[in-house]
């Protein structure tokens, strides 16, 4: 990953840690949907490899991806995909599971591995192999209480994203519990949705994240004032 993409990824993690997951997107529609997501502010976009002709879609947007946006692949199950992503300047590599062979190759190729996990064993194995971000999956089915228990044994500086069943109605409870970011699947894109529909849903998700984050910042400020 070059320094421009590295800086863009770090900025996204700090300022708007939301990943748009375009599972099922087709090459002939990716341009319009990608443009809509970038226009409303998404900085991280994932195309799962079980989408039709996924690498063709990734290549299309990689050729014109803005410098402050980072793209990549999800549902990466084979280490062989890592070299292709590196060639395309698509450094985000997201998995549904913890496979140390995939993580090792991602690190070797200079990618940013966001690794799916459920149990403490999987999470800590991913950390040891070099994961830069953990993806709690399937988050909604596991619940906020499960996340809190898992978070207690993880390195405090390591970002954890909730993915699976996350939408505007349950973001607040996850953010209150300390989640670092989200991956949105069906709440931002479903096969057959137009770019306009993706834009509308994406805009609502970003607005909700910003609303909750602003509330948190204000609460932290008043807490500091009270302790002063």
Residues with active-site annotation: 46, 135
The residue whose two tokens read 């509330």 is 215
Q: What tokens appear for 127 in the block?
A: 């950390």
Closest CA to 19 of 136, 129, 163: 163
Phi/psi for 144 (5° steps) reads -65, -40
Chain centroid to CA 94: 8
Q: List b or e across 135-166, with b for residues whose CB sees 16 or more CB atoms inside 10 angstroms.
A: bbbebbebebeebeebbeebeeeebbbbbbbb
Phi/psi for 190 (5° steps) reads -135, 145
Closest CA to 114 of 63, 159, 48: 159
DSSP-H helix ranges across the chain: 3-15, 27-40, 54-62, 81-87, 100-108, 120-129, 139-142, 144-151, 171-176, 195-227
| Helix H or strand E encompassing 181 | strand 181-184
């Amino acid at each position: 990953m070059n320094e421009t993409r590295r800086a863009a990824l770090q900025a996204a993690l700090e300022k708007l840690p939301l990943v748009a997951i375009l599972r099922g997107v087709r090459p002939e529609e990716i341009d319009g949907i990608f443009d809509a997501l970038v226009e409303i502010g998404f900085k991280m976009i994932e195309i799962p490899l079980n989408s039709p002709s996924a690498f063709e879609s990734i290549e299309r947007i990689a050729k014109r991806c803005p410098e402050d946006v980072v793209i990549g692949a999800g549902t990466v199950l084979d280490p062989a995909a890592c070299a292709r992503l590196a060639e395309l300047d698509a450094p985000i590599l997201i998995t549904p599971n913890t496979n140390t062979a995939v993580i090792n190759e991602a690190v070797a190729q200079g990618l940013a591995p966001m690794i799916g996990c459920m149990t403490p064993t999987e999470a800590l194995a991913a950390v040891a192999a070099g994961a830069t971000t953990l993806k709690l999956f399937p988050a909604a089915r596991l619940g906020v209480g499960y996340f809190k228990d898992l978070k207690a044994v993880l390195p405090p500086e390591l970002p954890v994203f909730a993915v699976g069943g996350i939408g505007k109605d349950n973001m607040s409870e996850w953010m209150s519990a300390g989640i670092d970011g989200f991956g949105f699947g069906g709440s931002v894109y479903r096969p057959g949705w137009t770019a306009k529909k993706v834009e509308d849903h994406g805009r609502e998700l970003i607005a909700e994240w910003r609303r909750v984050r602003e509330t948190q910042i204000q609460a932290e400020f008043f807490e500091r004032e009270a302790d002063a």
